[in-house]
Homo-oligomer: A and B are copies of this chain.
Amino acid sequence: MKATIYDVAREAGVSIAAVSQVINGKGKISEERRAEIMRVMERLNYQPSVIAAALTGKKTYTLGLLVPDISNPFFAEIARAVEDQGHSLGYSLVICSTDNKDERVERYLSLLQQKSVDGMIIGTGMDNKEMLKPLLENSIPIAMIAREMPGHDVQTVITDDFAGGRLAAEHLLGLGHTRLAVLAEQLKVSSSRERIRGFRQRLAEAGIDLPDDRVLASGDALVKDGKRKATELLQRAERPTAIFCCNDLLAIGALQAAKELGLRVPEQLSIVGFDNTILATVTEPPLTTVSQPTEEMGKLAVDLLLSQLKKEEGGSRRTVLQPELVTRRSTAAPSNE
């Protein structure tokens, strides 16, 4: 049986108020009483109940994190960064993998609310943006991470996806590519849309058009879908010489497709990924990819969330971090077959 504050009080021969004070280091207590109480707490292996404390109006010291899939290395990294920053500030982290499904998002949102988390960090997209409404109304602190939700007044930490797309285009253009294609996640994912937009814009500036039929969206099985879509692209008459993939998982799919079709990377096909996850470093060839500062993003999101929690300052700062192109060996000048 877990010991309660009453047990401690009784054993120490004081009131529960006294015990509460030493727990929270508040109020005035004589040194000897405090020492005695601490001794009893120790002996009873007393652990104050966060639950009960939360009920009294205090916080639960728990944060929620919504991501599409925790087993996706990019989000696992984000999660680790969020966990670390939260932990250092005394918060625990509940993870929620949504698979980008509105129904799951909704379920988790409601669950987290019922559990009175002190705030939620959202790194998943949703079709129905109205879902956040009730949270905002209940004034539950929210921060978006790596994903945007325009029109809602929420803190947001993202890397400049648009710039990232441009970076990729710039690189490919510089190498001399003109027949390009894009592999994206579901188009409801805001970051994918932005990346494509940036990519496209930069191409346009170079006078290159990227027709819609060269932008393929995939489903949830990123690697598998990426491979399938890439295969489709690569078998077209006008085979692209370079593919920009909206994340590393898709890029891996593309890499596999190329291998299966006997196409050499980067000689016959250049591939650019996004996220710079550990995956990008282990493929062969290692992936040229656009890197996001996951650690910084996680830390920032937590800080923003908590600052929102402290002051009533609900302002929606939009913090944009800059991506970087990491050049590895999956890209090269197109061959003149």
* A residues at B contact (CB < 8 Å): 1-2, 45, 47-52, 54-55, 60-62, 69-73, 76-77, 79-80, 83-84, 92-97, 110-116, 134, 137-139, 223, 252, 255, 278-279, 282-285
Contact = CB atoms under 8 A, between A and B. Distances in A.
Given A77-B71, A284-B284, A47 B114 contact: yes
A116 B51 contact: yes
A83 B98 CA distance: 11
A51 B55 CA distance: 7
Closest 8 CB pairs of A and B: A284-B284, A71-B80, A76-B76, A71-B76, A50-B114, A50-B115, A47-B114, A282-B283
A269 to B, nearest CB: 15
A278 to B, nearest CB: 7
Contacts of A79: 70-71, 95
A92 B92 contact: no
B1 A48 contact: no
A55 B139 CA distance: 24
A114 B49 contact: yes
B62 A115 contact: yes
Contacts of A69: 80
Given A92-B111, A283-B283, A84 B60 contact: no
A6 to B, nearest CB: 14
A59 B134 CA distance: 25
A97 to B, nearest CB: 6
A97 B84 contact: yes
Contact of A278 (B70, B111, B223): B223
A221 to B, nearest CB: 12
A83 B70 contact: yes
Nearest to A90: B111
Nearest to A223: B278
21 contacts: A1-B138, A45-B134, A45-B137, A49-B55, A51-B51, A52-B55, A60-B115, A61-B115, A62-B94, A71-B77, A80-B97, A83-B95, A83-B97, A84-B97, A92-B94, A92-B111, A92-B112, A93-B94, A255-B282, A283-B284, A284-B284
Nearest to A117: B92
Contacts of A255: 282
A198 to B, nearest CB: 26
A195 B115 CA distance: 41
A97 B47 CA distance: 21
Given A47-B110, A278-B279, A283-B284, 12 more contacts: A1-B139, A47-B113, A51-B54, A51-B60, A51-B115, A70-B70, A70-B76, A71-B73, A71-B77, A72-B76, A92-B112, A283-B283
